[in-house]
């Protein structure tokens, strides 16, 4: 059976011995016609994403007397929906390629533009009452940490040019001259790959060590490493490139003695 329209007046025809109306000769019953009002409320779900230029995909599922779903990217909203009164459970899901674990998620609701309940997490419950307008907003703040890369060259080569390539949620490329570093940079949490390449030529043996605060994270040989950066984590990676000694061959003149 289809749901009756909300917030609208409808006409009802009542038949029976106790209908309290007039006698209808064609049906042989007492009938009464009355005007009835079906009350309802309004519900709107929204997201607010920081940083504001990011556009991750979201899906909203609303369960209750008048369930519905909606999808969008970044900061958005379902629009105002006319719904039946009752308890509603709203769940926010991340779309493909996005993890809610990368965000601090909270919500706040208003009823008739007045502050109502609030909390943390991607699930909320709220009751919609008759002729009340409910709006709930999920606020999603991208989690961050800091990443610093340092590079030293042996023997010292102030003019030596190296390219640092950082791939991951916050990707960037920098040119490092001689012994240099990036300084601590605020980046999004997630998996990263760091790679150094000499632009000035030369044969180098490179090692690295990454620390999370005072704790070792990863270390090894080579000009490339991968790591995972967590919320609020401060990671420093130190690369050391030592130039390999050139190899030489000694050629002696050949002396031929006559017999």
Model confidence, pTM: 0.74
Domains and CATH numbers, the chain: 8-38 (no CATH), 41-142 (2.60.40), 144-243 (2.60.40.1140)
Residues 211/241, Cβ–Cβ less than 8 Å: no
Q: What is the pLDDT of residue 1?
A: 36
CA dihedral 252, 256, 257, 259 (to 10 degrees): 160
pLDDT of amino acid 39: 80
- Report pLDDT for 5: 44
- 3 state SS of 101: helix
Residue 238 contacts by C-beta under 8 Å, 6 or more apart in sequence?
Answer: 150, 151, 152, 208, 209, 210, 211
Whole-angstrom CA distances from 19 to 9, 132, 167 are 20, 33, 76
* Per-residue pLDDT, 15: 59
Tokens 């993890």 correspond to 99
Give the pLDDT of the chain (259 residues) as one tens digit per residue.
344 445 555 555 655 555 455 555 566 565 666 666 678 999 999 999 999 998 999 999 999 999 999 999 999 999 999 999 999 999 999 999 899 999 999 999 999 999 999 999 999 999 999 999 999 999 999 999 999 999 999 998 888 899 999 999 999 999 999 999 999 999 999 999 999 999 988 899 999 999 999 999 999 999 999 999 999 999 999 999 999 976 334 445 555 565 5
pLDDT of residue 245: 78
Please report the pLDDT score of residue 255 as a whole number. 59
Mention every residue, 6+ apart, whose C-beta is less than 8 A from residue 222. Answer: 206, 207, 208
Report the pLDDT value the prediction gives residue 4, as an integer from 0 to 100: 43
């Amino acid at each position: 059976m289809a749901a009756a329209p909300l917030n609208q007046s409808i006409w009802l025809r009542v038949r029976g011995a106790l209908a309290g109306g007039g006698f209808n000769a064609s049906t042989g019953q007492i009938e009464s016609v009355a005007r009835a009002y079906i009350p309802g409320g309004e519900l709107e779900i929204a997201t607010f994403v920081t940083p504001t230029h990011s556009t991750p995909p979201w899906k909203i599922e609303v369960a209750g007397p008048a369930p519905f779903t909606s999808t969008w990217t970044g900061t958005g909203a379902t629009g105002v929906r006319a719904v039946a009164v009752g308890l509603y459970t709203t769940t926010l899901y991340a779309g493909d390629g996005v993890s809610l674990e990368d965000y601090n998620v909270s919500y706040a609701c208003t009823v008739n533009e007045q502050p109502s309940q609030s909390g943390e997490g991607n699930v909320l419950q709220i009751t919609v009452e008759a002729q009340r307008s409910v709006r709930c907003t999920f606020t999603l703040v991208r989690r961050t940490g800091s990443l610093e890369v340092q590079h030293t060259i042996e023997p010292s080569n102030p003019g030596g040019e190296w390219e640092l390539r950082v791939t991951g949620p916050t990707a960037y490329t920098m040119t490092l001259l001689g012994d240099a570093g990036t300084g601590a940079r605020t980046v999004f949490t997630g998996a990263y790959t760091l790679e150094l390449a000499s632009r000035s030529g030369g044969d180098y043996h490179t090692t690295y060590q990454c620390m999370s605060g005072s704790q070792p994270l990863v270390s090894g040989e080579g000009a490339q490493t991968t790591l995972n950066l967590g919320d609020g984590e401060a990671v420093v990676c130190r690369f050391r490139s030592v130039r390999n000694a050139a190899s030489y061959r000694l050629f002696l003149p050949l002396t031929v003695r006559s017999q």
